[in-house]
């Protein structure tokens, strides 16, 4: 599970690190699915290539728009590269509002009651 916690209207960016211990390059396509999948985005694109014996990253971005928790699933599906398939991976994405910051304060004077 990847948790996105922060203030209401905050944008949170997380990176998923993918390690490749094999001697072959791996490539993955990323898909976001679920109830709130439209609120999550992949700003660096939906593909990632992981060189042999190295690591790669895929970035997931989320802006907290509602007080209720948002949920989605990130699925990484392997592309055949060098004739090798990697394992399909899934990650649960969840959000939580930790605090609410006001955008501004408005002061005004008005009579409370008039006849």
DSSP code at position 114: -
- Given the candidates 3.30.2320.50, 2.60.40.10, 3.30.1370.160, 3.30.750.24, the CATH classification of the domain at 2-99 is 2.60.40.10
The pTM of this model reads 0.82
**DSSP one-letter string for 48-85:** EEE-TTSEEEEEEEEE--SSSPPEEEEEEEEEPBTTBP
Domain boundaries, the chain: 2-99
Residue pLDDT, tens place only, 25-76: 889 999 999 999 999 999 999 999 998 889 999 999 999 999 999 999 999 9
| Percent of the chain predicted with pLDDT > 70 | 97
CB 53 within 8 A of CB 20: yes
How confident is residue 82, by pLDDT bands cut at 50, 70 and 90?
low
């Amino acid at each position: 599970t990847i948790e996105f916690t922060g203030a209401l209207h905050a944008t949170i960016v997380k990176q998923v690190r993918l390690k490749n211990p094999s001697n072959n390059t791996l490539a993955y396509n990323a898909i976001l699915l679920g109830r709130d999948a439209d609120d999550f985005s992949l700003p660096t694109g939906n593909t990632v290539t992981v060189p042999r014996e190295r690591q790669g990253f895929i970035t997931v971005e989320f802006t907290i728009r509602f007080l209720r928790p948002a949920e989605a699933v990130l699925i990484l599906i392997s592309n055949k590269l060098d004739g090798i398939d990697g394992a399909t991976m899934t990650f649960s994405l969840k959000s939580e509002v930790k605090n609410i910051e006001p955008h501004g304060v408005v002061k005004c004077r008005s009579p409370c009651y008039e006849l």
